[in-house]
Amino acid sequence: MTRVAAALPFGFDFDPATTALIVIDMQRDFIEPGGFGETLGNDVSLLQAIVPTTARLIALCRAHGLPVIHTRECHKPDLSDLPPAKRDRGKPELRIGDPGPMGRILVAGEDGASIIKEVYPIAGEVVIDKPGKGAFYATNLAEHLKAIDAKTLIFAGVTTEVCVQSTMREANDRGYDSLLIEDATESYFPAFKAATLEMIRAQGAIVGWTATCAQLEAALNE
C-alpha cells in the first residue's frame, strides 16, 4: 500500500495497482478565451492556472502505470441527450448547441468540446463523453472501472464544485475511495472551490480526501 500521509482530513492509503486517475472536463469551451465558460461571464484565467499542475499529475500517473481516464461534457449533435431544463437555464450569451467561436457549444466532435492540448489523451487512454455533470450518469464509466479492477480514484479537473464534486459523490455511492488533487482542480469562483474542498473532507472524509500534487508525487516516489 502507498500512503499520502499529509492528505486531509487524515492519511490516504491506496494500492497503485488498483487506482485510476480521472481528469474531468479539461475542455477548450471551459478553459480557453471565447469558449462557453467565458460567454457565461466567467474569468477563464482561473482555470488556466491549473493546467501545468494537471499536466504534471497526468505525467506522474502515466509514469507509475496508473490508468488515466478523461471526461468531456458534451452532447449529441441532434441534442437528443440535452434536457430543455439544462439548455434553457439562465440568460447566457450562447446556449448549448448554438454556433460559437470554436464550433457548436458543448457538442461532441466540435473543437470547443475537445480537451486542451496540454493535457490531451495519449493512445490507449479512455475518454468518456458525458451528457451530465457526473461522469457515471449515462456513460460506461462504471463498466470500464470494473473491467480494470479499480478500487481507488484520483480526481482532477474542472469545475471543482460542479462536475468534479458530482462525480466524486457518485463514486462514493459506488464504493470507491477518492482523492482530489487540490492544485489540479479549479472553479470560476474561488470561494466555491474552497467550500467544496471542505465539504469533501468533512465528517471524516464523507466524500473523499484531498492532497496536493506534490504530496501524491512524494508518496508514489517513496
Q: Residue 90 has what pLDDT?
A: 75
Q: Which of 61, 74, 133, 163 is catalytic?
A: 163
| Tens of pLDDT, residue by residue, the chain (222 residues) | 999 999 999 999 999 999 999 999 999 999 999 888 998 899 999 999 999 999 999 999 999 999 999 999 999 999 999 999 999 887 777 899 999 889 999 999 999 999 999 999 999 999 999 999 999 999 999 999 999 999 999 999 999 999 999 999 999 999 999 999 999 999 999 999 999 999 999 999 999 999 999 999 999 998
Active-site residue flag, 183: no
Instruction: Tell me the torsion sign for CA atoms 156, 162, 167, 169.
Output: positive
Sheet holding 68-73, edge to edge: 126-130, 68-73, 19-24, 152-158, 177-186, 209-211
Q: Residue 127 has what pLDDT?
A: 98
Q: Which of 61, 130, 183, 213 is catalytic?
A: 130
Active-site residue flag, 163: yes
Query: Is the CB of residue 81 less than 8 Å from the CB of residue 138?
Result: yes
Q: Residue 40 has what pLDDT?
A: 87
Active-site residue flag, 15: no
Q: How far apart are CA 94 and CA 179, in angstroms?
A: 34
For cell 505525467, name the residue.
Answer: 59
Q: How far apart are CA 179 and CA 152, in angstroms?
A: 8
Q: Residue 98 has what pLDDT?
A: 93
Q: In terms of pTM, does the model score above 0.85?
A: yes
pLDDT in tens, 70-95: 999 999 999 999 999 999 887 777 89
Q: Residue 186 has what pLDDT?
A: 98
Separation of CA 188 from chain center: 14
The string of DSSP letters for 100-134 reads EBTEETTBTTSGGGSBPGGGPPPTT-EEEEESSSS
Q: Residue 176 has what pLDDT?
A: 98
Q: How far apart are CA 36 and CA 71, in angstroms?
A: 17
Q: Residue 39 has what pLDDT?
A: 84
Helix (H, G, I), strand (E, B) or coil at 78: coil
Q: Which of 25, 29, 129, 183 is catalytic?
A: 25
Instruction: Tell me the torsion sign for CA atoms 202, 203, 204, 205.
Output: negative
